[in-house]
Amino acid sequence: MPGREELRVRVWDLLEVTEDPESGATKWDWVDICLLLLILASVLVVILETVEPLQRAYASFFVGFDIFTVGVFTVEYVVRIWACTIDPRYSHPVSGRIRYVLSFYGTVDALAVLPFYATLLLPLGLLDLRFLRILRLMRFARVLKIGRYSDALDRLKSVFRAKKADLGVAFVGVLVALVLASSVMYHVENAAQPEVFSSIPASMWWAVSALTTVGYGDIGPVTPLGKLLGGCMQLLGIALFALPAGILAAGYEEEARRRRAGTGVCHTCGQALSDHHDGQGSS
């Protein structure tokens, strides 16, 4: 029989999707495929059970399938916590496991099963309808588990991580423009439309629709100055929302170029693939 550490290595290799450092291709095994299919099926069931005729006809099936998926995801979550110390990022037996639980995918795995256990552990008297709906909505966190099995989503996550400072600046710019637009429009239009532009928070609905160039039409300026400023703000909105798109496009191209050159990030150790490959070659 294999030792505990050897078993831990085998389990972690089965659960984790890795890349071949030579080709960069994703390596799949039967566990990855089964978990991915179960994630897709569970999300589909969550969607279908909102259809009232299907809910009445297949209520017992929906409940049984939910219990089955929660059981599988719970076992997966517990086993990942047990085996995660193989990964150098989580090597410490205590703090490493805590770091994994608090990581992005560790949080997603917890959210995938938390609603089920919350409804069991909390007394029904404490669960009002709104809280129950929030718990049921949290089941859609299961769709985020797909990111673990998608190379494209993993690349996008790397892009967000690399460009988070630039995206933060762009987000602050959009937020400032939103506050300025709603403030200006409130002072310009309040006298002509006191019920529509009754306050700056109420004017933010118009500012959001204007800056995103959606323009629902339920709120709009009627004064000549308000229309002029509204048009300028809509043009400003095009530029502001094009900026994050340009940042993400440039970041994705840089990430694709790094991976083609063999300098992507290894899923297992978190190091650059070029360093990882050099270390393997020298060992």
Is 277:185 a contact under the CB 8 Å cutoff? no
Domains and CATH numbers, the chain: 4-149 (1.20.120.350), 164-282 (1.10.287.70)
Other Cβ atoms within 10 Å of 41 Cβ, number: 14
User: How far is residue 92's CA from residue 99's CA, in Å, rounded to a whole number?
Assistant: 9
Enumerate residue ranges in the chain where pLDDT < 50: 1, 23, 264-265, 267-270, 273-283
Q: Which residues pair with 27 in a beta bridge?
A: 18
From the CB of residue 121, how many other CB atoms can be counted at a distance below 10 Å?
7
| Whole-number pLDDT of residue 275 | 47
pLDDT, residue 281, reads: 43
**pLDDT reported for residue 221:** 85
Q: Tell me: the pLDDT tens digits for 111-144? A: 888 888 877 776 655 555 556 666 666 777 777 7
- Answer whether 85's CB lies under 8 Å from 92's CB: yes
Assess contact for 212 and 153: CB atoms under 8 A.
no
pLDDT of 252 reads 80
- Model pLDDT, residue 102: 92
Residue % of the chain over a pLDDT of 70: 77
Report pLDDT for 1: 47
pLDDT at position 26 is 55
pTM, two decimals, is: 0.60
**Other beta carbons within 10 Å of 96:** 18
Distance CA(138)–CA(133), nearest Å, equals 9
What pLDDT is stored for residue 159 in this prediction?
84
Cβ–Cβ under 8 Å, residues 72 and 101: no
Length of the chain: 283
Nearest to 78 by CA among 120, 106, 38, 50: 106
